[in-house]
């Protein structure tokens, strides 16, 4: 290989690595977003029990 071929190979390698890094960053930016349905699923539960409904369940007869 002469000097010109090594130079061309180095440029092609640099451009490939550069494009790979750029596309990796773009992919990570676009896929790591949390949408509204996932935020709703992650909301904490409220520890509130409706005592009227619990009393109604306790008064049911077994079948």
pLDDT of 38 reads 81
| Rounded-to-integer distance, Cα 14 and Cα 27, Å | 20
| Rounded-to-integer distance, Cα 23 and Cα 17, Å | 10
pLDDT of 7 reads 96
pLDDT of 63 reads 61
Interacting residues of 1 by C-beta distance below 8 A, sequence separation 6+: 9
Q: Give me the residue spans of the domains in the chain.
A: 3-58
User: Which tens digits make up the pLDDT trace of 1-54?
Assistant: 799 999 999 999 999 999 999 999 999 888 867 777 888 888 888 888 888 888
Terminal-residue alpha carbon distance, the chain? 88
């Amino acid at each position: 290989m002469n000097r010109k071929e090594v130079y061309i190979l180095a440029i092609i390698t640099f451009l490939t690595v550069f494009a790979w890094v750029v596309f990796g960053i773009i992919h990570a930016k676009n896929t790591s977003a949390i949408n509204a349905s996932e935020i709703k699923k992650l909301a904490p539960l409220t520890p509130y029990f409706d005592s009227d409904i619990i009393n109604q369940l306790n008064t049911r007869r077994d079948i």
